[in-house]
Amino acid sequence: MRAMAQAFLDRRGVENPRLEADLLVSHALGCDRLHLLMRLESPVLGSEVDRARDFLVRRGRREPLAYITGHSEFYSRPFLVGPGCLIPRPETELLIDLAKDESKARSLGRVCDVGTGSGVLAVTLVCEGIGDKLLGIDLDGAALEYACRNAKSLDAAVELLHQDGLEFLAGAEPFDLIVSNPPYVDPAVVEELEPEVREHEPALALFAPQGDPDYWVRELCALAASRALNPGGLLLVELGCDQGPRALSLAQVAGLEARIVPDLAGLDRVLWARRRA
């Protein structure tokens, strides 16, 4: 079954067919990969074969692995994910590292995660002890359901709001830290995305509004500089790798002290912008 599964995924263009075949078959058998390797000679039940086949067919249609297994890891913690929420990317962990640096330098009260999706940023910030009061906000109710489940399963006290983040910030009490991984993919490049992303992940979480990759950076900077941040407060926004120079100038034009932080691959990834004290 293992070799057949691998060959099937390979034919369907899945990138790591051997690993993914193992992960899907072990998920069907209810064990981890190590136990799968240990029980290779044991008989399997017909129902287990059916489950494995079902998972492999879904993966062959390029449904993301994380949607099939129902979980993904972020900052070494397990998060529930599924159709309707963006799967966390490793580079997004940089926002947490930067928030941690900030909380070492000064104490943080109110913290907001704008466009929280499955809640990875908001929940991880709580788990890492950053901020006194954490708020996660998203316009997408389906994604927020995952955030709610993740906050419960990781025992994180996060207040979740179902609302447009920009409208909310325009009327809310100011924050000491705002983090955001907004949609920044240019809809013009949709055909260049992998089918897992293009056909399965929520468009609302991926594609920049009005076809403008800088939309969220511009709006968040304007709000942060005028009212959404306390003086001295920090805004951290994830960027597409070609957005750095434009994001930096948008933040500076808004009056923020700003820099661009590269990810582990050396690509521009996060806008770090402080409201002057």
- Per CB under 6 A, residues contacting ligand GLN are 89, 181-185, 197, 206, 238
Closer CB to ligand GLN, 101 or 192, in the complex = 192
Closer CB to ligand GLN, 5 or 236, in the complex = 236
Closer CB to ligand GLN, 125 or 185, in the complex = 185
Q: Which candidate, 177, 202, 5, places its Cα nearest to that of 101?
A: 177
Place of tokens 């991926």: 206
Q: How far is the CB of 34 from ligand GLN (least distance, A)?
A: 30
Tokens found for residue 184: 């920044």
Helix or strand holding residue 45 (H, E)? none
Residues 217/271, Cβ–Cβ less than 8 Å: yes
Q: How far is the CB of 144 from ligand GLN (least distance, A)?
A: 16
Q: How far is the CB of 61 from ligand GLN (least distance, A)?
A: 19
Closer CB to ligand GLN, 124 or 181, in the complex = 181
- C-alpha to C-alpha distance for 134 and 95, rounded to whole angstroms: 15
Q: How far is the CB of 156 from ligand GLN (least distance, A)?
A: 21
Maximum CA extent, the chain? 67
Q: How far is the CB of 183 from ligand GLN (least distance, A)?
A: 5
Tokens found for residue 25: 């078959």
- C-alpha to C-alpha distance for 83 and 34, rounded to whole angstroms: 27
Q: Which candidate, 138, 66, 126, 118, places its Cα nearest to that of 96?
A: 126
Closer CB to ligand GLN, 237 or 273, in the complex = 237
Q: How far is the CB of 93 from ligand GLN (least distance, A)?
A: 12
Closer CB to ligand GLN, 103 or 116, in the complex = 116
- C-alpha to C-alpha distance for 108 and 140, rounded to whole angstroms: 27
Closer CB to ligand GLN, 206 or 261, in the complex = 206
- State the burial class of residue 257 (Cβ atoms within 10 Å of its Cβ: 0-12, 13-18, 19+): middle
Closer CB to ligand GLN, 150 or 181, in the complex = 181
Q: How far is the CB of 55 from ligand GLN (least distance, A)?
A: 23
- Residue 187 makes CB contacts below 8 A (sequence gap 6+) with 207, 208, 211
Q: How far is the CB of 239 from ligand GLN (least distance, A)?
A: 9
CB atoms within 10 A of CB 134: 26
- Residue 185 makes CB contacts below 8 A (sequence gap 6+) with 193, 206, 207, 208, 213, 240
Q: Which candidate, 58, 26, 24, places its Cα nearest to that of 195?
A: 58
